[in-house]
Structure 1
Amino acid sequence: MSEDQNQNPPVDVNTTFLKSKRGILKVAEMVTLLVAFVCFTAASRPTYIAATALEFLITLLLVLLYALRLNKRLTFFIWPLIDVFNSVFAAAYFIILSLMALSTYAVTGTLVGGIVGLMSAGLLCVDSYTLFKNITFNKPRRETQNQDN
């Protein structure tokens, strides 16, 4: 039984990701999405609740993917590209969702949720820009690593 435990290495937590700019940006996205979720829940707006909860879970899974270095083990996906697509589509969706919440609010929770949703959309735009800038297209890998430093 001890041989089986030695074959599977323990999960390595990447604390440097959580301290990096991208990690802090992802955590800030999660915080704003959670605040928007709470505001929409207090206002009893089911469509807004579902959208913010879904994006919160997707962002949480991406943070766990990078923090636990699962992106190194699951190499059949291009994770930065998936992250960019998620950020771009979520930013566009949250801009529309937040503007709808702001224009049709009847309860203060919907108004605050719409404002925080716009803040979250701004963070998602910044995240997609920084990720897209770091993805290599027709550049040698070493050249892009030198640009990041």
Structure 2
Amino acid sequence: MSENPDETRTMDLDTAFLRSRRGIVKMAQMVTLFVAFVCFAVASVPQYIVATIFEFLVTLFLLLLHLLKLNKKLTLFFWPLVDLFNSTFSAVYLIVVSVVVLTTHTVTGALIGGVLCLISAALHGVESYTLFKNITFNKRRNESQNQANHRGTNEE
């Protein structure tokens, strides 16, 4: 195992993704889900603890996928579509969780966690809407770019 000391392997980080609109929304989702997790933990409601930590881990996985540029190396899946399905499912799931929490619990921690789940659901909904707008089906890349440019000149 002789390694060349001059040859170092580095992992490329896409820090521009964190500054993009999608990156900011993903970070906001993670923050709201983590705070909701803490609220549910304080209120000791285990089923909602599991729900929020699961959504947090899935969002973290997708954030790391983009941050480490693994979405460009793992081409087995069409990652924007996977992200769209996840965001849509998560929005619906978190709305159901928050409605159940807000209607059945009276503990303050659980109620705050339910409101935060509702905020996170709204963030997931915003992300799924923007992803749906950006994904083009059955169009060549040049056609979709020309249509976007044409729409931009008509709006001005």
TM-score normalised according to structure 1 size:
0.91
Distance 1:32 1:143, change over 3 A: farther
**Matched ranges for 1:1-149 at <5 A:** 1-2=2-3, 6=7, 9-144=9-144, 147=148
Deviation (angstroms), 1:9: 4.9
Q: Which has the larger radius of gyration?
A: 2
Asked if the contact 1:134/1:144 (under 8 Å) is kept, the reply is no
Deviation (angstroms), 1:138: 1.6
Distance 1:5 1:69, change over 3 A: farther
Output the amino acid matched with 1:141: R
Identity %: 56
Deviation (angstroms), 1:16: 0.7
Output the amino acid matched with 1:45: V
Distance 1:110 1:141, change over 3 A: same
Asked if the contact 1:12/1:69 (under 8 Å) is kept, the reply is yes
Deviates more, 1:94-103 or 1:137-146: 137-146
SS in 2 for 1:2: coil
2 CA distance for matches of 1:121 and 1:41?
19
Residue deviations 1:111-140 (CA, integer Å, cap 9, x gap): 000011100000000000101111121222
Output the amino acid matched with 2:122: G
2 CA distance for matches of 1:5 and 1:84?
42
1 CA distance for matches of 2:66 and 2:47?
29
1 CA distance for matches of 2:34 and 2:5?
40
Output the amino acid matched with 1:46: P
Residue deviations 1:19-48 (CA, integer Å, cap 9, x gap): 000000000000110111111111101110
2 CA distance for matches of 1:11 and 1:77?
21
2 CA distance for matches of 1:76 and 1:3?
32
Output the amino acid matched with 2:52: T
Deviation (angstroms), 1:105: 1.1
